[in-house]
Amino acid sequence: MGYINLQDCVEDLERHGMLRRIELPVDPYLEAGMIQRRVYQAGGPALLFTQVTGSAFPMLGNLFGTLERTRFIFRDTLRTIETLVKLKVNPFQALKEPGRLLGAPLGALHLLPKRVGQSQAPALSCRTKLSALPQLVSWPNDGGAFITLPQVYSEHPSKPGFGKSNLGMYRVQISGNQYQPDKQVGLHYQIHRGIGVHHQEAIKRGERLKVNVFVGGAPAMSVAAVMPLPEGMPELSFAGLLGGHRIAMADLPGCLPVPAEADFCIVGSIDPHATLPEGPFGDHLGYYSLTHPFPFIEVEAVYHRPDAIWPFTSVGRPPQEDTSFGAFIHELTGDLIPTVLPGIKAVHAVDAAGVHPLLLAIGSERYTPYDGVTRPLELLTQANAILGQGQLSLAKYLLITAEQDNPELDIHDIGAMFRHLLERIDWQRDLHFQTSTTIDTLDYSGGGFNSGSKLVMAAAGPVRRSLMTELSGDISLPSGWSRPALALPGVLVLQGSAQALDNGEPDQAIQALCSFWEQQPLSDGIALVVIADDSEFCSRSLDNFLWVTFTRSNPASDVYGVAAATRQRHWGCSGPLVIDARRKSFHAPPLEEDPALEQRVNALAAPSGPLHGLF
């Protein structure tokens, strides 16, 4: 059986040497987040801060900081989940190992939450106020204190109950901006989130939407809140399956139910028509998400258990702790992808690029097997299916290849995926744009809030070019462009000065550069050119290349090409593709740490410091 609550988990991790108590006073304003990020980067343990400045509650950081520790936390149930996934994918294969089926029915019994009375709910034992909670601020320009591991619970207004409930991890701001202290909290949820359906129904009915925010409790609750579950499966059911026990929910008269073993619960409701400014906040693309109007919760009560622990994380340029979340979720659900998207063999949302900006996929070409694979056909149908599937629809760049061209290609070997695609792609034929569409709420490279474009790059068939693997000789460049470097085989990075352009306005200097290369062609071994503010930084590592290129460009306005032309409404180019990945004036600012605090934290980790050995 898995952990019933967070206290059991903390004790077990400490017993196994996977958690370290930090006894020195730690400030939740910037300091706790910086320490957690450092320890995560070092692959360190979970951290229990026992003396939190300004709050009586201890804070737990880096709980899911490594994939190995995440697997350990759920070790009792992974086998059952794997069996149930196999039954969905291939029942005959599962039946070949009947011994593994024994736990599946028992695991299914945990899908249904159970109701308990208030007297059986530690979560309702005590009351406090918002200002008494740890006031976590992760980055210097954050708009206030945020809950970074919230579980936001709502039920369908016209169909109340667990069956149509939603549990999601949406950002919750508990102080700052125009929120009334101790009375209001901001609720930032993005498009394609389940709570939006409930909110829309409340607006339709002209009534307030009841919402509870849970913090802590069984670790399975946090994972369930971020799971991309199939339609019709409540997150509470998955939490029971992953946690190895039915989730106990306590009724609260006039309010939504509360997990009996939660550490904290904020109870309230949303005015369906009211918003307040929320943000800014450092986010997982590595930039600030800016201030925008979002719904807010009118708080009725804040409950907590007597031994409550405040779990938290800190988000920023990946990889961060949410990277482990993503890897763990892929392990649980990866085998289901072909059952949801026929013909698709694998999908990889690239964490280093901020997840939604770049999606890789391997599909199949079965339309004309008698004719051999010579160009993308079925891949285009599969690309449309991917972009119509839940949160995958937020992808900005989708790169898709055919399994038949290389059955051994590993989708998680990103360098190999790029090389495979760039060797085969025909820039005149294989680019497919969607303009004036939705992208990730946190991506400011597009034409406006929640607005941007998409580009599908589909490659299938024989190798078309041999990619350059090292720069040889001089690269012909006009004035204004400098410091050429190779980021990957066939990928040239150039440094260019920033241009003061309106959003969507074409850069005449890049157009002139493309015209220059029409007259003095680049080597055939260069397939892609990226324009960056700092070519050395962009080309220094694969992660830098992915982050710069795909978070700082909008396909419809930032993609150019040498010898570009539009034929039958289809844009393409016969020379290299060019992507402008420089920062623009309308982009959100990148995250930067406080230098003075960096010095203090580094001193704490010095050989004589209390954090020595953690990072």
Residue 109 — pLDDT band, cuts 50, 70, 90? confident
- Phi, psi angle pair for 292, to nearest 5°: -145, 160
Residue 487 has pLDDT above 70, yes or no: yes
Instruction: Give the model's pLDDT for residue 391.
Output: 83
What is residue 17's predicted lDDT score, i.e. its pLDDT?
97
Give the pLDDT score at 94.
47
Q: How confident is the model at residue 86 (pLDDT cuts 50, 70, 90)?
A: low
Task: Report the DSSP beta bridge partners of residue 481.
Answer: 496
Binning pLDDT at 50, 70 and 90, where does residue 105 land?
low
Beta carbons within 8 Å of 294's beta carbon, 6+ residues apart:
186, 187, 188, 189, 275, 276, 277, 278, 279
Which pLDDT belongs to residue 244?
Answer: 93
More confident residue, 404 or 96: 404
Of 17-26, 466-475, 600-609, which range is least confident? 466-475
Is the model's pLDDT at 245 over the cut of 60? yes
Instruction: Give per-residue burial for 480-506: e unless 16+ CB within 10 Å, then b.
Output: ebeebbbbbbbbbbbbbeeeebeeeee
Among 86-90, 335-339, 574-578, the range with the most confident prediction by mean pLDDT is 574-578
Is the alpha carbon torsion for 537, 454, 591, 221 positive or negative? negative
pTM for the predicted model, two decimal places: 0.92
Kindly state the average pLDDT of the residues 383-398: 92
Beta-bridge partners for 360: 348, 399
User: Alpha-carbon distance 606 to 28, whole Å?
Assistant: 21
182-233 pLDDT per residue, tens: 999 999 987 667 898 999 999 999 999 999 999 999 999 999 999 887 666 7
Pair 220, 239: CB distance under 8 Å:
yes
Taking every pair of Cα atoms in the chain, the longest distance, rounded to a whole number of angstroms, is 80
* pLDDT interval class at 370 (50, 70, 90): confident
Our CA angle for 497, 501, 502, nearest 5°, is 155
In 273-361, where does DSSP find H-type helix?
321-333, 337-340
pLDDT over 60 at 92, yes or no: no
Mean pLDDT score across all residues of the chain: 93
pLDDT reading at 516 higher than 50: yes
Which tens digits make up the pLDDT trace of 22-39? 999 999 999 999 999 999
| DSSP calls for 462-500 | S---PPP-S--SPPP--TTEEEEEEEETTEEEEEE----
Is the pLDDT at 257 greater than 90, yes or no?
yes
- Say if domain 6-73+110-312 classifies as CATH 2.30.110.10: yes
Name the more confident of 230 and 51.
51
Candidate from 90-99, 300-309, 493-502 with smallest mean pLDDT: 90-99
Greater confidence (110 vs 555) lies with: 555
**pLDDT score at 502:** 83
- For the cut 80, the answer to whether the pLDDT of residue 85 exceeds it is no
Model pLDDT, residue 447: 74
Alpha-carbon span 238 to 334, nearest angstrom: 16
Q: For the CA atoms of the chain, what is the radius of gyration?
A: 25
Say yes or no to pLDDT of 382 above 80.
yes
Q: How confident is the model at residue 104 (pLDDT cuts 50, 70, 90)?
A: low
Which secondary-structure segment (H or E) carries 14?
helix 6-15
What confidence score (pLDDT) does residue 338 get? 81
Q: What is the mean pLDDT of residues 582-599?
A: 95
Given a cut of 60, whether residue 102 has pLDDT beyond it is no
Beta-bridge partners for 457: 399, 431
Question: Which of the four pLDDT bands, split at 50, 70 and 90, describes residue 288?
Answer: very high
CA distances from 90 to 30, 85, 249, 339 (A): 48, 8, 34, 10
In the chain, which residues fall in CATH 2.30.110.10?
A: 6-73+110-312
pLDDT 10s digits, 433-477: 999 898 888 899 987 788 899 999 999 999 999 999 999 777 889
Position 311 confidence tier, pLDDT thresholds 50, 70, 90: very high
| Model pLDDT for residues 394-440, shown as the tens digit of each residue | 999 999 999 999 999 999 999 999 999 999 999 999 999 999 898 88
Q: Please report, rounded to a whole number, the percentage of residues in the chain having pLDDT higher than 70.
A: 95
Q: What is the pLDDT of residue 337?
A: 83
Beta strand extents in 460-605 (DSSP E only): 481-488, 491-496, 528-532, 559-561, 564-567, 570-573, 577-580
Give the class (CATH, top level) of 321-459.
Answer: alpha beta
Backbone angles phi, psi at 549, to 5 degrees: -65, -45
Q: What is the mean pLDDT of residues 232-257?
A: 93
Whether pLDDT at 68 is above 90:
yes
Q: Which helix (H) or strand (E) holds 151?
A: strand 150-154
